[in-house]
Amino acid sequence: MSAKPVREHYGKQLLAKFIKEYSKGEHDFEGRGILVKPGVADPASPVTWDTLLQENEWARTAKLVAKPDQLIKRRGKAGLLAINKTFEECKTWVNERMNKPWKVEAVEGVLNTFLIEPFVPHAQEDEYYICIQSNRDGEEMLFWHEGGVDIGDVDSKALRLQVALGEDVTADAIDGTLLKHVPAERKAKLASFFVTLMKVYRELHFVYMEINPIVVEANGKITPLDLAAKIDETAAFLVMQKWGPSIDFPAPFGRAEFPEESYIKAMDAKTGASLKLTILNVTGRVWTMVAGGGASVVYADTICDLGFAHELANYGEYSGAPNDEQTYNYARTILGLMVRTKREEGKVLIIGGGIANFTDVAATFKGLIKAIRERREDIINGNISIFVRRAGPNYQEGLKMMLALRDETGIKMKVFGPEQDAVSVCPLALGLVSVDSIPDFDPEAKLIHTVSKAAEPEAGLIEPRKFEGTQADFKAQLSTMSRQQFTKETRCVVYGLQQRAVQGMLDFDFMCKRAKPSVAAMIYPFQGNHYIKFYWGTEETLIPVYTKISTAIEKHPDVTVMVNFASFRSVYDTCMETFEKHSDRIKTMAIIAEGVPEAQTRALVTKAEEMGVGIIGPATVGGIKPGCFRIGNTGGMLDNIVMSRLYRPGSVCYVSKSGGMSNELNNIISRNSNGVCEGVAIGGDRYPGSRFVDHLLRYNDNPDCKILVLLGEVGGTDEYAVCDALKTGRISKPLIAWCIGTCASAFSFEVQFGHAGACARGMGETARDKNAALAAAGAIVPPSFAEFGKKINEVYTLLKQKGEIPDIPEPEVPKVPMDYTWAKRLGMIRKPANFISTISDDRGEELKYSGMPISEVFGEDLGVGGVLSLLWFRKKLPPYATKFIEMILMVTADHGPAVSGAHNTIVSTRAGKDLVSSLVSGLLTIGPRFGGALDGAASMMTAACDKGMSAAEFVNDCKKNNVLIMGIGHRIKSLENPDMRVVIIKEFVKKHFPKTPTLDFALAVEQVTTSKRSNLILNVDGCIAVSFVDLLRHCGAFTIEEADELVANGVLNGLFVLGRSIGFIGHHLDQKRLKQPLYRHPWDDISYISGDM
């Protein structure tokens, strides 16, 4: 959802913050207010009445107003206003109502948030009404000179002023249009204030603001008393700093947000996928888990149309290729809610969706199956039946997994694929038809495409219509898109490194027997110009990638379309650059990104029209013209292209908002007619770049198109332009239309559906209103979406009978080799992996170290030592062991600038090398003579200890064989001047390690060697080495053999490298900080020897 309502307190705080700034001091609104939440009466709460009063000293003496701040309309009429009260009186009034149920008109909810603000004395004639609301062309201001609770039907009587996009409203325009009934002495002040209000509205990305009343006080000061506002949430990345951290989007009054809804909302915010959940009736029998924003509405509609609105428990969707973990958590949440209560007649879970364009169905089912397995007993005990209908990439494997799950668990389950319409499972699930009336998905059966045979078409279904006026009366403002047509020669550039989408477009081109690929080039600004290899059938071809839009367009003069995969943050800039500099060449722009702020979208639409460029999107999957051109991922995988016969043109053109449902339409149309002629998903945002009517007129003017199909939805008014085109005869071909979202009228509170624009904001925007208007205008509107395909089939059959649709010879089904990656995913081939990794996994919802999620690593405070133990040893070692590892890193971090490694690092740094190069220079000195004593000491001491040699025997044996004892000896330290590092390590090891035989042996060796010379002590390298051997061997995590293998593999050397890297980096940074010059060794420190040696 993009437009979200905010609390009155928060809206006023924004006005208070910016009114003065944007009016340059002319107007000032203090916006004083106290937000009171539950717990305020509890003395133990961090926020109490006393603390609130301390923070708002002005409230001690002021007269006040108290009211709920929970998006409640008409609070005054509901008895929810306390006026002209003291703070103590407000406190009593709020306490009496806090956390109490309250009925406002037909809605009952719990009061839990109140606003206390100054009382503003005024007369009735001082009250006015002002509203600003955004529309496609700009902002509309509504004003009436009589405000307050008794304003009545403001829509019918308010004075209106439309302010076009890109234009500033003037005080003169406001005065002349809106303030006709305002006393002359107040006009200038009010007009100026409203100019400032419009600036704040636009700058802060409001989409709706109503102030009723706004008061002009006796001293001329203007004060908003009651405010209702909505903000475009998608603009957060642009103005979050101005909004501030306290922004709050409360749930509608009448229902508190369930913890499960909050959980899904938080999960949705952390992912690029879309995860939505609204609980309608937690004890309801019918639950849904639907993939796709449009499909989720269609399922809810169908359930309500079949008479089960009172049993529909939830609305929600999961889409955008969520990973296993996300799908698991989503399914686990829904199942947890389902089993919370039992119903004697049982419950049903409908797992549905349209035909996915790019989401791997089997991959999303993995998480779902995991959740069902966990809840198996609860599902069976709760008499829950599951009905599955899914299709799209890898759906066959996904449905086979569900059938196997049914056999494994014994859960009552029916499974269907694209051989059935999307909502065909609903009557089965609701018990309206026998569960055996439709056969389960058969993984062995080959999907044979046949056109359904219609029952006798309805009489007069497509009889000539009587037009209200002529085509000249059709005055709708059309976009450039209404004049665009795609052909077999259409070529595009793709913005973004979307290799999968490009390969899909090329495969479609090859199937359609295009002469050359439709994708001429790609644009990716973050790498240099290069080429990427793609398949063209069985051959390979290269597609150039450019860093600049201008270069791509200059190099490929035949390009007329840009498919823009830029993110919602950058898509505005890339589109504007294209419109301003390349509109002579680029005539169509497809904007794929979701979440583009409404203000930016409207600006793009305006600029595109100015420059003569048509737009498809934003938030679109694209469009497809069978046999000609495909945008992005439209149409899904190759098997769906073949199943829906999209490789050759049919006679039906459709336009939809939903991308997922557009693919479902491909299936429905292909099964009820001779196929699709062209189809476009205009996108689910409130202001799509092109509208339904633009595309329907293109189709109407295309002689190959015989039938038009429209799938609209709740929200917006674009369908009414289609009604006008039907009434005037501008659309002359049969139109089958349906607007999804009819279920909205069955809900007691506003539900935001899957698309940003799918929410009725005004009169006539409901799906039922629009379906009625389309039917009245002459469109063929079925009773429900479930009969959509039937109506298409009836119209197709009638036109065939009349000879208006000729027989199309069916070409041979083209074959395109399957990509290796996809074939492997389908289990058709296998290949050994090039790499094996057992220590980390970044594929799930969060990173894992040896199977341990990163959140648990921090939750258990494992520290660096714990992380090292997981990544190096694949074990969670005991705390003393991880502490010892950290001690090793600390004592080996540095040993001064004179040692070889540090010296090399310093020299390289002073030669101007970067950090990594300087670090590597130092690390390369580590070996037998520097740092290697750890490995040597460990192997020598361990071998002698294991043989049962005494310390004296070991020392004598080394002397006899002329072998230096590694880990013994120090240039400076001695028995008299011990190395404190060794002392600290010995004390820690003796105190915490369960056994220390190797350290004990080394200390015995030290006694022998120091008897000869006092500096032949156990040095820090030797102490670390033998102690670490004891740790590995006796901590309980490893066998003796495993411990020895780790030492042999270089783990001790790794500890020295890791520890010493800390010091080397320090030396590099130190030299950089000191800005030391190039090092040149002094010649007098070099012995120059000439002559023979």
Residue type at 713? E
- What residues form DSSP beta bridges with 655? 680, 710
Q: Which two tokens stand for residue 659?
A: 């991308």
Query: Which of 1012, 1009, 1040, 1033 shows the shortest CA–CA distance to 1022?
Result: 1009
Alpha-carbon distance 380 to 869, whole Å? 43
> Side by side, which strands form the sheet with 622-625?
629-630, 622-625, 676-681, 652-656, 707-713, 735-740
Active site residue 755: yes
Distance CA 443, CA 362 (A): 14
- Find, among 226, 192, 190, the residue nearest to 209 by Cα: 226
**Phi, psi angle pair for 1053, to nearest 5°:** -65, -35
DSSP string, 10-59: HHHHHHHHHHHHHTTTS-------EEE-TTTT-TTSSS-HHHHHHH-GGG
CB neighbours of residue 54 within 10 Å = 10
Letter for the amino acid at 785? F
Distance between CA atoms of 995 and 993, rounded to whole angstroms?
6
| Residue from 798, 791, 512 nearest 668 by CA | 791
Q: Return d(Cα 318, Cα 916) in angstroms, integer.
A: 44
Q: Please, what is the Cα angle at 231 between 227 and 235, to 5 degrees?
A: 155
* Contact partners, residue 325, CB within 8 Å, separation at least 6: 367, 844, 845, 846
In this structure, how many other beta carbons lie within 10 angstroms of the beta carbon of residue 787? 17
CA atoms of 176 and 316, how far apart (whole Å)? 47
Whether residue 546 contacts residue 523, with contact meaning beta carbons closer than 8 Å, is answered with yes
Which amino acid belongs to residue 923? Answer: L
What distance lies between CA 562 and its chain's CA centroid? Answer: 24
Task: Mention every residue, 6+ apart, whose C-beta is less than 8 A from residue 1044.
Answer: 942
**359 phi/psi in degrees, rounded to 5:** -75, 130
Which two three-digit tokens encode residue 899?
């040692």
Chain center to CA of 148:
41
CB 712 within 8 A of CB 760: no
For the CA atoms of the chain, what is the radius of gyration? Answer: 37
Q: φ and ψ at 676, to 5 degrees? A: -90, 135
Q: Which of 841, 183, 567 is nearest to 575 (CA)?
A: 567
Query: Please, which residues bridge with residue 564 across strands?
Result: 495, 591
**How far apart, in Å, are the Cα atoms of 743 and each of 160, 261, 709?**
32, 20, 21
**How would you class 660 by CB atoms within 10 Å of its CB: exposed for 0-12, middle for 13-18, buried for 19 or more?**
buried
Q: How many CB atoms lie within 10 A of CB 987?
A: 10
Instruction: Compute how many other C-beta atoms are within 10 angstroms of the C-beta atom of residue 635.
Output: 28
Counting Cβ atoms within 10 Å, is residue 236 exposed (0-12), middle (13-18) or buried (19+)? middle
Q: Is the dihedral of CA 195, 197, 202, 206 positive or negative?
A: negative
In 3-state terms, what secondary structure has residue 188?
helix
> In terms of C-beta density within 10 A (0-12 exposed, 13-18 middle, 19 or more buried), how is residue 269 classed?
exposed
Query: Which one from 9, 582, 755, 1067 is the annotated catalytic residue?
Result: 755
Residues annotated catalytic, as ranges: 755
